[in-house]
Every structure is written in C-alpha cells, then in structure tokens.
Structure 1
Amino acid sequence: MGFCIEDPELRYIIRQCALSNMPAGGVPPGFPNKWWVQRFVKRHKKELSWRKPQILDHKRADHSTEEIVRGYASRLEPVLSGVTAECIWNCDETGACAQETVKTRVLGSRGLAANTRRSHDRDNVTMMGCVNAAGGSIPPMYIFAGEHRKVAWLDEAVSGAVCAMTKSSNVNGNVFLYWLKFFVCKIGDVRPLVLVMDGHFSHLSQPAVAFAIANGVKLFLLPSHTSHFLQPLDVSIFRTFKECFNVTVNAFPRRKGLSDAALPTRDDIPALTRLPILKAFSPKPIRRGFAKPGISPFNVNIMLDMMVGSILAQHTKQLPHYAALETAAFDLQLTDRQRQHLQRQGLNLDALTVVAFNAKNLVIPRVKSRMRGSVVTPSMTEGVLLTGPEMHEALRAHTERKVMQAEDTESNRLRRYTKRLEAEKMKAAARQAAQQELAERRAMYEVDKAARNARQVALRSEAAARKAESKAAAQNAKVALKAAHRKTRRHDTAHDSKAVNQRRKRRVL
C-alpha cells in the first residue's frame, strides 16, 4: 500500500529477526547500528530507498482501496472509449504563496542561530491548470483574494493567462463557470471532450454543468480522496511545479538585483510562476502525468499500483536564500561545552564579547517600497476572464472613459461657472438699474414732495387767508349786527319813551 517505516522501526525489526534466528548472546548490544542499516539498504537499492515521506490524510488512506479503484476504472473506461488523447483533459487547482516553504542549508558562524529573511505576505493565490493526455495545455487562471485586479499582475505571467477575484482566493461556482467558458474558447470545436476533475462543490454548480453539457464537454469526477494518485496534475505536474516555484521564490532577491533587493509578495506570484509553468506544463511531464495514474493509455493495473502513493521524489537543486536579516550584531551565545573550552584556554568570559557580522548585509540595500499599481474593477471586466493584454486594454478604455468623463465634468463645470457669471452679471446689471431707478424715483419723490409741500403751504396760506377773511367778515358782520342792534335798541327805546310819554299825557288828561 506504499506505507513506509522509519529508521528506528527498521532497526527494531532487524534486531528482532536476529534475536529469533541466532543463539542467545550472539547478537551484539548495539546491533544493528546506522552503518549496518546503510549497507543493508545499499545492498537492496533496487527495492529500497531512503526518501522524505509525503503526509497522507487518513481519509485518503481509507479511500485508497482496490474496490474503489476498480469501480472508478469501470466507469472511466467506457467514457474514454473512442476519445483521442487530445480530447482527454484534466483540470485542478493548486495554491502558491510568496513565503518560502522549503528550508535550505546556509553557511553561518558556529554557535549562532541561522536566520534568513522571508516575505511577510502570507496571502494565498490559487492557480487553476488544465492539460490533456497528448501533452497540451491551456494558459492558467490565477485567483486572488479581493475585489479589484491589478493590471500589472499579468505583465510577466505566462502568455494568455487570466485572472479572477474571490473573497478567499478559492474557486467558487461563478469563477468555475467563467473558467469553463474560457476553456471552451481555448480548445476550439474538437468534440467529444472529457474533462476529468475532482468532486469539489464548486465544480458541480447547475450553471456550470448545464454549460458543459450544452457545449459537448463530458465532466468526469474522480472518487473522493483519491486525487493524490489518480489525478494527472497531482501525480506529476504540480509536484514539479511546486519544486521549481520554491526555487524561484528562493532566488527572488537575486533575480531582482542587489540594487533593488526585495522580497516577493502576492503581486509577484504570476511572474514567479512563469518559469515553473513552462517547465512543469511541458509535453513530457504532462504525458507522464496521464500515464502514471493509468488514464492514457488506460491501464487498471497501474491504477492499483499507484494506490496511496509510490511516486519517486524529484530532487531539484535548491539555491541558498540570498536575502538576510538587516545589518545587526549579536552577542555570541555559548553552550556549556564551549564555555568550558574557553575557560581552559584562560580566557575571561565576562570580558569576552564575540560579535558576528553577516558581510553580505553590508552590500544589500534596504528594501524599497513598491508602487501599488493600477487595478481593474469588476465593472470594467463585466464578469469575463481577461488576459494581461486584455486587462491593459480594459484599463486603457476605462482611462479614456474617465478622461472623457473628466472633460465632460470640467466642461459642465465651466458651463455652470459661465452661467453663474452671466447670472451674476445680469443680477448686478439689474441691481444697478434698480438702484438707478430707485435714485431717480427718490429724486422724483423729492421733487414731488417739495411741490406737494409747496402746494400744502399755498393751501394753508389760502386757507389762512380765507379764514382771516371769513373771520374779518364775521367780525364786521358782528360789528354791523351790534350797531344795528344798538340802533334798533335806540329806536325802540325812543319809541318806548314816546309811548310812555303819550300814556303819561293821557293820564294827565
């Protein structure tokens, strides 16, 4: 089943076999030592080899059974019947991070901690690859976390690569549907097509399945937890891709040059994956990836032999990380043995301070901050996967629209400003005319007021004159009346006196 044993377990088994087959006291206490084990493995090098184990999830181990594999083969064989190698495709996703994941050997001062600098960016970028059994492939799709795409992401990526955005950088139903449309556009009109993939929930959305059926693409799902030995991309291609990618990330500062030393971020992942993709997605590794799990050419026995995993490790020469910590000095940390050795030499440890410098830090400049770069928003892409040139074209068109909108906005602003100036001029003219009219009206009012006052004075004078005349006339009338009254009174008095005298005369008679 491909499960391995470690060195202590092997030595224990060998010792137990020796104790059971040799007389008492015939097995030395230290048997077998590490040199004996090395010679034993060397003698059986055709069957045995030392390697680094691959972590295997227990679910994958449980599903790596002959029953599951044979059931999968019985379903796959009729699907592949009559389908050429150019029409058998496999797609899958893998993650890439800007942080270095493989520790390499470095040279440093004895007794000091060996440190290397790595990127602080832990954001994962998902890359979806797709290959066929004839050794062909289509450009990858990168999935970033976020909403806006930077135009510069695909400048140094593989030609034809596209970019998508999700909240977590993981593939979802909508993105997989976009990729299916991209896949159908790339493969042309050759039919029938078989697309082998794992049973991730994003691959099973109703729109994606309906689109595949409508375009003559047969979706064939691998059994759950078996992609590590039945999927071509996982068996061969992604392994080579990961190894080359780690080397590229490791050598990133030197690739950028000492004058522009920097550590990679997620923005650099499309550029960092260019060479690994060109190497891993070449025809020979792709064909080997389909042959190892027994898909093309179809072979059930190979599928059974590949259960759990017996993949040969592909050793790649790792380059040492060129970047280092910032220039600093560290006091030497001594072990007890080193302290005793220095004391035997007569050195005063309290007065002794050993300082170690990393000489390469003296020539590596401080990391410069990088520009944020232009981004492409979802409204600019309209829900379509775009390549690097298409993103630049979309950005150019968006920029032109922005410039036109800015010009229109400026024109409208100037037009509104002109209208406002004209309105202000009209208001000022109207205000000036109103003020002038008001001044004229005030002058006319003053003239009218003066004339009215003059008329009132004249009227008052006339009234006073008439009043004086009437008063004089009344006074004259009164005087005349009084005079008449006196005259009448005198006449009456005289008449009365005459009458009295007559009465007196009669009385005398």
Structure 2
Amino acid sequence: MGRQKPSKPGTRKYGTKTRYSNDTLQKILEEITTGRIGQREAARKYNIPRQTIVNKLKNKHSCKVGRPTVFTEIEERSFVQHCITVSDMGVPISIFDLRCIVKSYLDTCNRKVSCFADNMPGWEWGKAFLERHHSELSQKFTVNISRKHAAVNEDIISTFFLKYKDEIEGVPAENIFNFDETGFHDIPAKGKLLFRRTYRHPEKIENTSKSCFTVMFCGNAAGEFLPPYLIFKGKQKWTDWIYNAPPGTRMNSSDSGWMEQGVFDDWFETHFLPFALKKEGRRVIIGDNLSSHISIRTLELCEQNNIKFICLPPNATHLLQPLDVAYFSSLKKNWRDVLSQWRKTPEVKKKQCLPKGTFSGLLAKTLQLGEQTASSNLVKGFEKCGLCPVNCDRVLQCLPDYARNESSVMGSVGAEFKKYLETIRQSDLNVKCVKKYKLPIEPGKSVSTEDVRAFYENRELTRNNGRRRQSQIEGGENELRGELEFQQCGTSRPRSGPKTRGGVRARAATLRTLNRSNLPTDASESCILAELDVTRSMTDRMELVNSPIVIAEGNMVVEEELLTDMVNQPSTSEGDFHVNDYVIAVYEGKCYPGKVTAVEVRGNCVTFRISCMVKKGKYWVWPEREDSIWYRKDCILKKIDESCMKHINKRGMVHISDDLLCSSDEDI
C-alpha cells in the first residue's frame, strides 16, 4: 500500500457558541425557582444545557456567560464610544484600524496579551467585538464626500437662511424658481446577471461611449417645470437635433458642450423670462454661484423685470439645491433604463456613439416615464431644502455631527484615537482651495449689477497694473545690465532709450537704488545685481518706479538731460527688419513665414515680435489664435516680399515657394 497523504488542517473550532445572554438565563432561573417551569423543560425550550441550569441554581458558577474577554467592560465600552465619535466626525475607521489602535493602547500601557501575536489583535477578535456590540456598531459601505463639501457647517447654512428669509418674504411658491444643469452620459444601466460561479471577470458586450449632453432644467416650488434647454457641443446648430424633443424645448451649442456665459444669457432671456413674466408679483430665481451663471446682461434683465437673483452657498448644492436633492436621481435612473432599451435594438447595436438627433427623442421618453412623480418630487425637494416654506432646521438636521459640534467632540476622544484624528482629520479639512478670482456674491442675498460690474472693472485694472509694473521692472533691470556692459567696455552709452516711459523711470529708480547702497566703484555686475535684489524687494521697486527722478553722485550717474531725450525720442524700428515686414523666422530648427508686429530694445539687444503662419497640407494659413512670440535678430533669416505669398482661396490658404524655404534651410 502506498503512503497515505496527511490530511490538511481544517478550520479551528471553538465549541458550541453560546446563544443566550446573561439576562435571559436569570429569567429562566426565576421561572424555575417559582415553579412555573421545570429544569428539563427549560433546557429543551431555551436550548440551554441542563447542567448549566443546575450549576447556576447551586451557585457553582457566578461569572458571566461565555469566555471572559481580554479587555474589561469599561475598556470595551470606551472603544465603542470612540469608534462612534470618529465616525460622527467624518473619519470612520475600519476593523484593521481599530486593531492597530488597540495594539498601540496595549503598548502604551506596557501590557502583554498572550493570545495576541505581538499585542496585535487578530481579525477574529475584531469580528467577535462587532458581534458583542452589534446593537451599536456595524460595517457599512461608505459614500465619499469631497473636502469642500465637508467644510459646509452650521454657521454657513444659518447665515444663508438669515439673508434668504428677508429676500423671500411675501413671494408665493409659484414665483420661486430653481435652475440647474445636468449631464446625460452614454452609459447604460448596470444590473446583476447570471454567470458561472467560477467566472472571475463578468462582462457584457454592449457599445458605449464617453459622450455627454448638457440639459438645463428649471422649476418652481409649486411643481411646475419649464421645458428643457439642450446644449450641444459644436459651432453649428441643426434642426434635426431637437426634431423629437419635448414640446417647447430650445437648444444651443458651445465649443465645450457645457454651460457658458453667453449660453446662459440666451437661456435666461429667451426661455426663462417669457415663462416667469406670466407670473404676477415679485419673482425669485435660485441657483449655484457658477461664474457662467452670473453676467451683467442677466442681472440687468432681473432688475428690469422685478426678479431677485439669489445664489446658494459654495459646495452646498447637495443640501440646498431642490433639483439635485429630489429630482435628478430618479431622472437619471429612468435615463439609464431608456438608454439600455435603445441599445438593445438591432439597428443600434452597430452604433458606437449616441447621435445628437437621437438624444432628444430618448430624453422625451425619459421625461414621459417620470412624468407622474416629477411635480411632487420637486415640491418635496423645496421642502427638504428648507427653501419653501423657509425652514433652516430641516437642513441642519441633514448635516453630519462633525459639521455641527466638532469642537465639543474633540475633547472626549481618547489619546490613541486623538492621535489618529490629528494625522487624518486635520490634514483633510484644513486644505484650502485657492481661486484666482472670486465674484462678490453673498449666499442668500440677491446679486446686484453694480457689484458685478465693479468687480470686473477692478479685476481688469489690477491685471493691467500688474503687467505694466512687471514690464517696468524688467525694463529697468535690462537697462542696468546694458549700462554695466558699456561701462565695463569703456564706451559711452548711445542716446537711444527704451520703448516706454516706464522703462526709463524704472532704470533711473534702479540706478538711484544702487547709488544709495554705497558700492565700491569697481564693483562687478553680479555684485551690483545681488545688491539690487537684497536691498530692494519687489514692492519697493514698484514705489521707486512711480517716484520722481533724483540725480545722485557715485559710480552710477543718471543725467537728467539724457533721460529727457530718451523719453521724448519716438519709437522707431531698428535693424534690417521693420514693423509690417514679411520675414522667415527659425523656431526649434524649422522655418516659418510670418509678419513683424513690433520692435523693442531690451538692454542692448533688439527683439522682434513676429506672428507666424502654420502649415496646413502643402499650404500655409494664419492660425485662429495668433501665434506670436519675440525673436532675436539672429533668429530671422531674411525678409520676403508679399508678392511671394500667393493666396489660393478665400479660406486664407497661402502658397509659398519651396525654393524660398529650402534656401532658408541652407542658411540654417
């Protein structure tokens, strides 16, 4: 007989698990002592060993039911409370995290547990811990929320409703509108299907694409909807795109396929305004504070027609946007069902993308599928968001605990849990999102035209001032380097100043700064420039640019007469190339025809700004966005005559002789 293979070890067994609690056992013993039930009958009825009942009656075992736990009741209760605390703060932990915290707690207390390997509880301890406290703790799948949304707290919501209540007073429900756009993706619905049990990668053959269509929806607190407004990606609009759309639907197009400011102005003026003017009295429109939703044209129309434009707090649309809260979820579910049915038809199986003309028909079926519940869902959405009727407490109840009483909770967390929170929670919620520009909008308060117009004017003024000052500083430093080069060579500076008056002032201010620093007469260029960076910050140099010119003595002398000539001298083109000349420039080893648009002196170097053409097939065309950069003189090969550029058609295509470009390549 062959040697028998040893059997593999099976799963560890821990005996019969206790299925009754200590309270249940005490009630059974009370019934037995009063004579209402016998020992054998109790053991059979409650599935408790008869010997256990006998031992309890004779007080042979006074301990609790089951094996004693590693930690005391107070310690386990503390673990439970801390798990609940961190979950309320928005940073829930897993069983593995809990085991690591327990290990850290044991190591801190210098306590060794023999049944834990290296004081690390096993997964079986974690499972038993959850079973012991199943009434308070349970494992659930989480839904991720962004840090910006988590930053919305009780103060932000209360401040919004404080201003919103004054704006909404006396306005009926049918005059309170909410608008929001949403995207319809070409992704059919997913569901559970039947597969072989050992199938590792369940897949379903069905075409899909990444196309998305934007639709603007709007409705009031009385449950009335405006017809949808479709936004397609493209420059042209075709009638077959909305041939099968719901009645009253309008469409527009944009380069990105998303909502843009011009598209929103068109929606407000041609779609929303005719519907809103049918309502008598004051009207209110509520939406998010997206920059494309706020324009001077729209605000002027609001003021002319007695409409209040109110913006919601940033990142709070999941709490205060009625369409998001109560309508879009069911709408998207119906859309996925309709799209799945459309994808199953034989004539569609070969199509990869969803055509624009077909989308409007599928949208009409989707709206018809949810027509019975759409109105009631919108009304409930306004109620849940506390917008109509106004109820701030309704929204505050939806806030998680960490957004209401985070400061008071932090003090009750234990040492190890607090350490965990310091590394996770604080790093998550203290992240600040930097925005380049922020519109002057107060959530809950209507937006005025004057504030937005003043904002754009100030922003443009700030941009222009920043560019002007930067160019003045660069002009001053370039002139300084040129002056140093001429002084080191022992030659006099030619009387040709920079292009702008600001460059002259910056140069004078820069030289005056060096005069005050008392540098030696034989100081090198690097020492002077280093001294300039150390002694004067950017702000100081800005002030010097706008200050009057002062003549100082020292190794750097600025003559007032020279400065006057440099300022009054007109801007002229230098070198062999002038403004409006057609030339061939070299960029990264390749030749491009172009046109000189500006000439500027930077230090002792003449630079030319050239707008270049791009190759399209075998012809050259001017690009839609000007391709213009600065070139040195040695990067320009030659000047060409305009007659060498033969126009081919009305689209702007130009033919340039290959011999002309080839000869240029030889020059390279």
Length-normalised TM-score, structure 1: 0.52
Q: Counterpart of 1:221?
A: 311
Relative distance call for 1:34 and 1:26 in structure 2 (3 A) is: closer
Query: Which string of whole-angstrom CA distances, capped at 9 and with x for unpartnered residues, describes residues 235-274 of structure 1?
Result: 12122222322233233223xx346535551523333333
Q: Counterpart of 1:290?
A: 382
Matched, 1:59 2:148: yes
Taking the TM superposition and a 5 Å limit, the aligned residue runs for 1:6-25 are 7-8=94-95, 12=99
* Bigger proportion of residues as helix: 1
Q: Counterpart of 1:113?
A: 201
- The alpha-carbon deviation at position 292 of structure 1 amounts to 1.4
Q: Which amino acid aligns with 1:219?
A: F
Relative distance call for 1:14 and 1:276 in structure 2 (3 A) is: farther
Matched, 1:300 2:389: no
Query: Which string of whole-angstrom CA distances, capped at 9 and with x for unpartnered residues, describes residues 123-172 of structure 1?
Result: 32111111111111111111111022333332333322221100001111
Q: Counterpart of 1:241?
A: 331
C-alpha contact (below 8 Å) 2:99/2:126 kept by paired residues: no
Select the structure of larger CA radius of gyration: 1
Q: Counterpart of 2:280?
A: 190
Structure 2 distance, partners of 1:309, 1:194, is 32
Matched, 1:205 2:295: yes
- The alpha-carbon deviation at position 202 of structure 1 amounts to 1.3
Query: Which string of whole-angstrom CA distances, capped at 9 and with x for unpartnered residues, describes residues 463-506 of structure 1?
Result: xxxxxxxxxxxxxxxxxxxxxxxxxxxxxxxxxxxxxxxxxxxx
Identity of aligned residues (%): 22
Unaligned runs of 5+ residues in structure 1 are 311-509
C-alpha contact (below 8 Å) 2:186/2:339 kept by paired residues: yes
Q: Which amino acid aligns with 1:97?
A: H
Relative distance call for 1:154 and 1:222 in structure 2 (3 A) is: same
Relative distance call for 1:122 and 1:260 in structure 2 (3 A) is: closer
Relative distance call for 1:140 and 1:32 in structure 2 (3 A) is: farther
Structure 1 distance, partners of 2:327, 2:131, is 32
Q: 1:174 aligns with which of 259, 262, 268?
A: 262
SS class of match (1:242): helix
Relative distance call for 1:36 and 1:164 in structure 2 (3 A) is: farther
Q: Counterpart of 1:73?
A: 161
Taking the TM superposition and a 5 Å limit, the aligned residue runs for 1:129-140 are 129-140=217-228
Taking the TM superposition and a 5 Å limit, the aligned residue runs for 1:40-439 are 43=135, 50-53=140-143, 55-62=144-151, 64-100=152-188, 103-109=190-196, 110-111=198-199, 113-181=201-269, 182-187=271-276, 188-254=278-344, 257-258=345-346, 261-262=349-350, 265-267=354-356, 268-278=358-368, 279=370, 282-307=374-399
Query: Which string of whole-angstrom CA distances, capped at 9 and with x for unpartnered residues, describes residues 70-92 of structure 1?
Result: 11011100111111111111001
Structure 2 distance, partners of 1:91, 1:291, is 16
Relative distance call for 1:142 and 1:12 in structure 2 (3 A) is: farther
- The alpha-carbon deviation at position 66 of structure 1 amounts to 1.4
Q: Which amino acid aligns with 1:228?
A: H
Relative distance call for 1:15 and 1:157 in structure 2 (3 A) is: farther
Q: Counterpart of 1:494?
A: none
Structure 2 distance, partners of 1:260, 1:173, is 35
Structure 2 distance, partners of 1:309, 1:96, is 34
C-alpha contact (below 8 Å) 1:194/1:217 kept by paired residues: yes
C-alpha contact (below 8 Å) 1:97/1:266 kept by paired residues: no
Structure 2 distance, partners of 1:309, 1:123, is 39
Structure 2 distance, partners of 1:238, 1:13, is 41
- The alpha-carbon deviation at position 225 of structure 1 amounts to 1.4
Query: Which string of whole-angstrom CA distances, capped at 9 and with x for unpartnered residues, describes residues 77-131 of structure 1?
Result: 011111111111100111112134x643333344463322444532321111111
| Residues paired across the two proteins, number | 302
Q: Which amino acid aligns with 1:155?
A: Y
Q: Which amino acid aligns with 2:360?
A: P
Structure 2 distance, partners of 1:40, 1:247, is 41
Matched, 1:3 2:95: no
Structure 1 distance, partners of 2:248, 2:97, is 51
Unaligned runs of 5+ residues in structure 2 are 1-87, 403-668
Structure 2 distance, partners of 1:38, 1:272, is 49
Q: Counterpart of 1:495?
A: none
